[in-house]
């Protein structure tokens, strides 16, 4: 049996050289071949890529499932490449999600940073507590002095009118303050600087950022921490002398429940509705308003102070201005912890007095060296 195929079909599908190897007979070139040779040619045609011959349909594309699947995959890939950009709606959705996440996470990050600053400040107060206990061991079990009436160790220029280039005003020149008395046990100015006090100075105040008038620059030795005035009876009023002495540790009824150093912008502090102690509080002094020195409040702020009941609400906000409304406190046994600012100052959040007697008494006990604020005989 002989089947004739066009010669150009055979050449297109196999090539001349392949045809020579497959069917060297010259009758191939005359356009004819036997049936066995035809089978081999058709098999080769099925597995050889299409060269674009006008007879390419002989491959049977329509009946080849593998080629159809390949074409489908190729078409899908082309569609993906053509549609690989964001639509406007998709872009707006992504932006909205990012904005929502930012609104949720940013306050969390800010709170975490605030807690880190509070921890740093608490570490400062623990070091102050250690220094206080070392001082007491060196000075007959007595608390450090609140201040002494001796030349300030950082005094360099006493000729200035009101203030001078050394960062000390004339009122600070003749005083040595409690942080300077404890410095030999600490030897680091950073311990007296609270990270949440935006206007902190230590030993000398060379700028106006501390809101202090010129004559009182550097007064107090630093402006991040305040002493509990009840622990330091006034020396001169108690019979003269050059220092406001600290109380003997043996007189303290409950050292673990007594504030000694607290956070404040002036070196002295007291609670609101303070009780009377000998040589500590008088009705004619500013002492009843010393709660306005706690936290970031400053009673003697210059040029506009915080004196008077009309400034109570403003002062209360400033008292609660550090560490998410907490104040770090160092106690007479040397430990330190954070206490709610309103508890420390003995105020309501708006600066008004606490009317509940039991609550107020509990708050005031933490200020009283004798742990009994209702006893005014001591």
Indicate if 141 and 56 belong to the same structural domain: no
Indicate if 59 and 155 belong to the same structural domain: no
Q: Is residue 217 part of a domain?
A: yes
Indicate if 223 and 325 belong to the same structural domain: yes
Most confident of 35-44, 237-246, 260-269: 260-269
Indicate if 77 and 164 belong to the same structural domain: no
Q: Is residue 306 part of a domain?
A: yes
Indicate if 69 and 137 belong to the same structural domain: no
For the chain, where are the E strands, in sequence order?
A: 2-4, 32-34, 147-148, 176-177, 225-228, 243-244, 259-263, 268-269, 326-331, 336-340
pLDDT at 54 over 60: no
Per-residue pLDDT band for 273 (boundaries 50, 70, 90) equals: very high
Q: What is the mean pLDDT of the chain?
A: 80
Indicate if 321 and 187 belong to the same structural domain: yes
Query: What is the reported pLDDT for 199?
Result: 87
Indicate if 125 and 69 belong to the same structural domain: no
Per-residue pLDDT tens over the stretch 139-178 = 999 999 988 888 899 987 655 545 567 788 888 888 999 9
Query: What is the reported pLDDT for 69?
Result: 55
Indicate if 125 and 73 belong to the same structural domain: no
Indicate if 65 and 131 belong to the same structural domain: no
Q: Is residue 107 part of a domain?
A: no
Per-residue pLDDT band for 275 (boundaries 50, 70, 90) equals: confident
Phi, then psi, of 102 in degrees rounded to 5: -65, -40
Q: Is residue 216 part of a domain?
A: yes
Indicate if 63 and 209 belong to the same structural domain: no
Span 192-211, average pLDDT = 88
Span 304-315, average pLDDT = 95
Question: Collapsing DSSP states into helix, strand and coil, what is residue 236?
Answer: helix
Indicate if 139 and 53 belong to the same structural domain: no
Domain boundary among 32, 67, 82: 82
Q: Which residue range(s) make up the domain with 77?
A: 2-82
Per-residue pLDDT tens over the stretch 11-29 = 444 444 444 444 444 444 4
Determine how β-strand 225-228 pairs with β-strand 32-34.
unpaired
CA dist., res. 193 & res. 111, Å (int): 20
Split into its structural domains, the chain has a count of: 2
Bigger pLDDT: 25 or 99?
99
> Do residues 234 and 318 touch, judged by C-beta distance below 8 A?
no
Per-residue pLDDT band for 240 (boundaries 50, 70, 90) equals: very low
pLDDT at 265 over 80: yes
Per-residue pLDDT tens over the stretch 322-356 = 999 999 999 999 999 999 999 999 999 999 999 99
Query: What is the reported pLDDT for 285?
Result: 81
Helix %, strand %, coil % of the chain (to 5): 45, 10, 45
Q: How many CA atoms lie within 13 A of 180 on its CB side?
A: 23
Most confident of 167-181, 277-291, 364-378: 167-181
Query: What is the reported pLDDT for 59?
Result: 46
Indicate if 313 and 194 belong to the same structural domain: yes
Query: What is the reported pLDDT for 170?
Result: 86
Query: What is the reported pLDDT for 198?
Result: 85
> Do residues 267 and 300 touch, judged by C-beta distance below 8 A?
no
pLDDT at 71 over 90: no
Query: What is the reported pLDDT for 9?
Result: 46
Query: What is the reported pLDDT for 313?
Result: 96
């Amino acid at each position: 049996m002989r089947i004739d195929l066009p010669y150009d079909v055979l050449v297109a599908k196999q090539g001349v050289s392949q045809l020579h190897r497959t069917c060297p007979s010259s009758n191939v070139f005359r356009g004819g071949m036997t049936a066995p040779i035809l089978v081999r040619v058709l098999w080769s045609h099925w597995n050889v890529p299409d060269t674009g011959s006008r007879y390419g349909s002989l491959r049977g594309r329509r009946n080849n499932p593998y080629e159809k699947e390949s074409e489908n995959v190729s078409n899908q890939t082309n569609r993906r490449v053509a549609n690989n950009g964001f639509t406007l709606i998709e872009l707006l959705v992504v932006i909205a999600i990012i904005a929502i996440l930012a609104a949720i996470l940013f306050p969390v990050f800010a709170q975490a940073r605030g807690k880190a600053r509070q921890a740093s400040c608490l570490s400062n107060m623990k070091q102050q507590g250690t220094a206080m206990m070392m001082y007491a061991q060196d000075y007959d079990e007595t608390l450090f002095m609140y201040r002494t009436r001796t030349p300030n160790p950082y005094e360099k220029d006493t000729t200035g009118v009101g203030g001078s280039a050394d960062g000390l005003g004339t009122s600070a020149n003749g005083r040595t303050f409690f942080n300077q008395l404890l410095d030999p046990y600490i030897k680091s100015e950073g311990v007296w600087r609270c990270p949440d006090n935006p206007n902190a100075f230590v030993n000398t105040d060379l700028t106006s950022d501390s809101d202090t008038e010129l004559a009182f620059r550097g007064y107090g030795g630093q402006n991040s921490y305040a002493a509990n005035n009840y622990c330091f009876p006034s020396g001169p009023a108690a019979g003269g002398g050059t220092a406001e002495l600290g109380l003997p540790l043996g007189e303290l009824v409950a050292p673990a429940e007594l504030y000694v150093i607290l956070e404040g912008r002036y070196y002295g502090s007291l609670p609101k509705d303070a009780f009377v102690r000998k040589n500590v509080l008088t009705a004619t002094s500013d002492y009843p308003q010393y709660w306005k020195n706690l936290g970031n409040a400053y009673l003697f702020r210059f040029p506009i102070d915080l004196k008077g009941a009309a400034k109570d609400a403003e002062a209360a906000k400033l008292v609660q201005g550090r560490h998410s409304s907490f104040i770090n406190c160092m106690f007479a046994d040397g430990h330190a912890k954070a206490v709610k600012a309103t508890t420390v100052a003995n105020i309501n959040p708006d600066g008004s007095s606490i009317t509940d007697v039991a609550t107020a008494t509990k708050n005031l006990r933490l200020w009283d060296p004798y742990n009994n604020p209702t006893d005014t005989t001591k």
